[in-house]
Amino acid sequence: MAILLDPSAVLAAADAADLNHRAAVGWFERVDEPLLLGALGLAELDILLQRELGAAATRAVIESLVAGSIRLVPPTQDDLARAAELMTEAAEHRPRLADALLVAAAERLGIRRVASFDRRPLAVFRPRHTRSLDFEP
């Protein structure tokens, strides 16, 4: 089964100064399931990588996408509609669109596993296809 990547997991693996760096690198070395990254997550990851590590880090992610190590998942119209519902349901938590789209994609693809070190923003959503998402590492 595939695993959806939250930008926080990729950033932790790329940034040796990140507190979660060792855990992230170890997890990426062990995982053998397909890795998926939402298109909006890619944009968010670019911002984070550029700020923390520079353009070379973003290029490394692009190379992983081109090589097929990570598969890009564009949002569908249904994902956008579902993300709007999720954001409305969790409005008191001020959810972000990128997080709602990740959950919508998880529902559409039947994925329960998400690699993330920033779990709180995702945990406010109640996915339809499972009681909760399984966070790794």
pTM: 0.91
Instruction: Report the C-alpha dihedral over residues 91, 96, 100, 105, rounded to 10 degrees.
Output: 170
Looking at the predicted structure, is the pLDDT value of residue 1 above 90?
Answer: no
Fold of 3-136: Rossmann fold (3.40.50)
pLDDT digit string (tens) for 5-57? 999 999 999 999 999 999 999 999 999 999 999 999 999 999 999 999 999 99
pLDDT digit string (tens) for 86-126? 999 999 999 999 999 999 999 999 999 999 999 888 888 98
What are the sequence ranges of the domains in the chain? 3-136
Q: Where are the beta strands (DSSP E) in 1-137?
A: 3-5, 35-38, 70-73, 113-115, 134-136
Measure the CA–CA gap between 47 and 111, rounded to whole angstroms: 26
